Structure 1
Amino acid sequence: MLIQDILRRKRDAEALDADAIHTFMRGVADGSVGDAQIGAFAMAVVLNGMNREEAIALTEATRESGQVLRWHDLNLDGPVLDKHSTGGVGDLVSLVLGPWIAACGGHVPMISGRGLGHTGGTLDKLEAIPGYDVTPDDARFRRLVKDVGVAIIGQTGTLAPADKRLYGVRDVTATVESLPLIVASILGKKLACGLDTLVMDVKVGNGAFMPTAEASRELAEAIVTIGSGAGTPTSVLLTDMNQPLADCAGNALEVHEALRLLRGEGRDSRLYQVTHALATEMLVQAGLATNADDAAMRLEKALASGEALERFSRMVHGLGGPSDLAERPAHYLAPAPFTTDVGAPRAGTIHAIDTRALGLGVVELGGGRRNAGDAIDHRVGLSHIAQLGERVDAGQPLLRLHAASQADAEAIASQLSTAFTLGETSSVEPTSPIHATLRQEDLS
């Protein structure tokens, strides 16, 4: 089958069969399809879309373009499952969720990414831990998934290599904004991990990846339909990102917060609520719990017994980090040299927070990358971030700024204060951080 013929058919808005899509993606992976052809394909998809069957075939072809992890030879004593988030600010859920699920009998081979734009990256957070290796060899990765139940690492070059080439071309040809291409990119990598089930966390709000609530809902529905259609039961939680999920943002600061939750603290936080909801969905979907009440009981036992924290510690040590991080976090997670509070310009109630601006503030401090090769300062970030609906007096801190120097802090303090909109109303109606849960049966 000629690549030119595949391109012509998609250009003319014809539906491609699975064979054509698999042929094209194999060529993307092995280099026989050129960048110009990839760009033509991506533009044709942007302009003409894809039907359900095409989108499923594209996801499957992305998954199968490289190594697909298999676990049957390890004789695991539980299901293989994972969670993925579209990203946000203060979203450290993965650091807590992976070991928490492992403590409940699951096996979590979590392939994570780095920060992108205003969103923090799980790998960047873990690299705040001295010695933590995000690129272990395959034998070590598999051993940890079996023995500890969780390993959080970076994507290897053998997993979904076609996606890396396709995304690189999309990025420079104005073809990123295409739902089937976005979903195939997200799911292709995740499903290559050989999962029994997958739960996605799709963010909604001004700090979300998608620009509107409607777009987030459309993405969520597509993920459920295509993931399940590709053979992996998939559900999605739509969660709020109109303010940072945790009250901190920054790599070492978020590791501290993860340890706090794993110690059983912070149960009244939005971070705990979202993490617990995702964990509940994962346990029920994978058959590790019979219903939500059973899942809640198992999760409480794993937290209260210290088992979830123990799994995190074993994972960290197994990937080269210190064995006593949980006992001595301050010894290993270096603080920023300079801290200062950013005060409210006047009294009022916080009516809105520009979450994206706070995330970009962390990048400006050095806690994220402006360019792909930039080094990250894991010490910097924000903490004690005020929440929506909170009443503040003039001068009362809106957040604490952790910077490499006083000059860095002063350069960004006023910008961060304007991220908070203050109003006169004495109270703001609180909203649940969980907007909706979508499953395949809900969309049939």
Structure 2
Amino acid sequence: MRAVDIIEKKRDKKEITNEEISFLLSNYLKEEIPDYQMAAFLMAVYFNGMTDAELLEFTKEMRDSGDVIDFEGLKRFHVDKHSTGGVGDKVTIALEPIMSALGMGSTKLSGKGLGHTGGTIDKFEAIKGFKFSNTKEEVIEIANKTGIGLMGYSDKIVPLDKKLYSLRDVTATVASIPLIASSIMSKKLAIHSDAIILDVKTGNGAFMKTLPDARELAETMLKIGKGFDRKIVAVISNMDQPLGCAVGNANEVIEAIETLKGNGPEDFTDLVYNIAALALKLKGDVNTLEEGIAKVKEVVDNRSALEKFALFIKESGGDPEIVNDYSLLPEYAGTLEVKSEEEGYVSQILAEEVGKAAMIIGAGRATKEDEIDHSVGVLVLKKVGDFVKKGDVIAKICYNESKDVEKSAKMILGAYKFSKEKVEKPKIIFEILEA
């Protein structure tokens, strides 16, 4: 068997066999197939896609390239939520305590962010003393006490994905639906869960800019999940403006805590409640989303979800008093009010530009080596559908160093678009797709 023959078949749109996929990927991982041949194969996939059979085998080989973790000691219905990312996406922070209060467990791998703002790890690291679990045993111990388990990605889990992604990044093959789907799902399948919920973002601040592309990615991932006999559902959500109001790590933690107190922004609250209700539906506790949302409201109103969050922080080495005293989180030195130069209804907020405006003052990373300032960020005070007068404050920049603040303010002003006609508030969830 030769790599060149497999590349030729994929180039000519012929289906490759399980044995050929296994040969190609296993030998690439062992560095017996060079980058230039794998790059040629990836480009052939980029143009020709994969059949269902190819996709399942490709994902299986990816998953099995490293450790597969079964949380056999976790004594709850186990839900893994994955987001394709966006600006102000702090869903995990609010969602997992809610699911815990509802009797479910959630153990997931999370990464550091690169780009707009920090990843889930960066947000939690805004909490002084907080330590992520380093081993499966630590995750299980904390998850059994709190219902919540978070662990950083390990090189031992799906190592092939990291190797392939580095190659895709420099060969213009990142934007391939089958390759994106297999990358995400191989990591989801490497960690045992009873159910997977996918939050696929679409819009200006998302990787998938259009609804048809987001739907195709969601349907492809659902196909993989079904092929591996997992309970799986996908939510396609709106990222045409920042999610919620807070962009930046400590600010997003605060907004998530406020949501657990019932005071969260409407769009963020709706998304979190619907995902939690979907988890209840997958578990079989409710028949409809409405029933599920009612149960979610109960655990928010009685503060049991907030108590689960505080317990998780305590068990992870942080101070649980942060739920009552936000001064325990990193504090910024000053704020700059961004005032509108126009009058009208906000018709659009370019989420990616707001994310970049937060990044340049230290809330995100331009490169992997950059240090994040957990205290800084942007507060979006006017959202799509709001009426704004000239001179109204539409956003606040929370900063420590002033050198890039004016540049950040100009980026935020450029992100806002206005209409003289009334604009309806956009819905946060476009579609819910089931396997």
TM class by shorter chain equals over 0.9
Deviates more, 1:45-54 or 1:162-171: 45-54
- How far is 1:317 from its partner? 2.3
Q: How does 1:165-244 map to 2 (within 5 A)?
A: 165-244=163-242
- Aligned partners of 1:407 and 1:353: how far apart in 2? 24
User: 2: CA distance between counterparts of 1:405 and 1:384?
Assistant: 20
Structure 2: how far apart are the matches of 1:380 and 1:201?
Answer: 26
TM-superposed CA distance for 1:292, in Å, is: 2.4
2:292 alignment counterpart:
295
CA-atom RMSD, angstroms? 1.8
What's the CA shift for 1:325?
Answer: 2.3
Q: 1:108 to 1:341 in 2, by over 3 A?
A: same
Give the structure 1 partner of residue 60 of structure 2.
60
Task: Please state how far the C-alpha of 1:409 moved relative to its aligned partner.
Answer: 1.7
Instruction: Map residues 6-405 of structure 1 onto 2, 5 A cutoff.
Output: 6-72=6-72, 74=73, 76-118=74-116, 120-134=118-132, 136-266=134-264, 269-331=266-328, 333-405=329-401
Judged with a 3 Å threshold, the aligned counterparts in structure 2 of structure 1 residues 132 and 34 are, in CA distance, closer, same or farther, namely: farther
Note closer, same or farther for the CA distance 1:302–1:25 as it changes in structure 2 (3 Å cut): farther
The equivalent of 2:419 in structure 1 is 423
- C-alpha deviation, 1:112, in angstroms: 1.6
Residues 339-375 of structure 1, C-alpha deviation per residue, up to 9 Å, x if partnerless?
Answer: 0110001322211111110011111111111111100
Q: Distance in 2 between matches of 1:209 and 1:326?
A: 32
Distance change (3 Å), C-alpha of 1:24 and 1:312: farther
Q: What amino acid is aligned across from residue 275 of structure 1 in structure 2?
A: V
TM-superposed deviation, 1:120: 4.2
8 Å CA contact retained: 1:56, 1:227: no
Confirm or deny: 8 A CA contact 1:223 1:234 kept in the other structure: no
Could you tell me whether the CA contact under 8 Å between 1:113 and 1:121 is conserved in 2?
yes
Give the deviation of 1:30 after TM superposition. 3.9
Confirm or deny: 8 A CA contact 1:87 1:119 kept in the other structure.
Answer: no
Q: Residue type matched to 1:304 in 2?
A: D
Unpaired segments of 5 or more residues in structure 1?
Answer: none
| Cα distance in 2 between the residues matched to 1:411 and 1:147 | 46
Q: Give the whole-Å Cα distance in 2 for the aligned partners of 1:3 and 1:259.
A: 52
**Distance in structure 1 (CA, Å) of the matches to 2:12 and 2:132:** 44
CA apart distance, 1:4: 4.1
Q: Is the 8 A contact 1:120 1:359 kept in 2?
A: no
Structure 1 position 94, deviation (Å): 0.8
CA contact (8 A) 2:77 2:104 kept: yes
TM-score (norm 2): 0.95
Deviation at 1:135, TM superposition (A): 5.1
**1:8 Cα deviation from its structure 2 partner:** 3.5
**Distance verdict in 2 for CA 1:18–1:385, change over 3 Å:** farther
Which has the larger displacement, 137-146 or 18-27?
18-27
**Local SS of the residue matching 2:337:** strand
Question: Where in structure 2 are there 5+ consecutive unaligned residues?
Answer: none
> Contact 2:97 / 2:309 at 8 angstroms: preserved in 1?
yes
CA distance in 2, matches of 1:406, 1:63: 45
Find the aligned partners of 1:276 and 1:89 in 2 and give their Cα distance: 19
Further displaced range: 301-310 or 200-209: 301-310
Paired position in structure 1 for 2:429: 434
Distance 1:50 1:174 in 2: 17
Could you say which residue in structure 2 is the equivalent of 1:410? 406
Determine the C-alpha separation between the residues in 1 that align with 2:354 and 2:380.
13
Counterpart Cα distance in 2 of 1:166 and 1:97:
31
Percent sequence identity over aligned pairs: 34
Provide Cα deviations, 1:79-112, integer angstroms capped at 9, x if missing partner: 2111111111111111111121111121211112
CA distance in structure 2 between the partners assigned to 1:328 and 1:119 by the alignment: 24
SS of match in other structure, 1:82 = strand
| Aligned 8 A contact 1:99 1:311 in 2 | yes
Q: CA deviation at 1:113?
A: 2.1
Q: CA deviation at 1:2?
A: 4.1
CA deviations over 1:226-278 (Å, ceiling 9, x no partner): 22112222211111111111111001100011111112222x61000011111
Whole-Å separation in 2 of the counterparts to 1:33 and 1:131:
44
- Partners of 1:264 and 1:33 lie apart in 2 by 54
Q: Distance in 2 between matches of 1:66 and 1:384?
A: 41
Structure 2 counterpart of 1:6, which letter?
Answer: I
Q: Residue 201 of structure 2 aligns to which amino acid in structure 1?
A: K
Range with bigger deviation, 305-314 or 363-372: 305-314
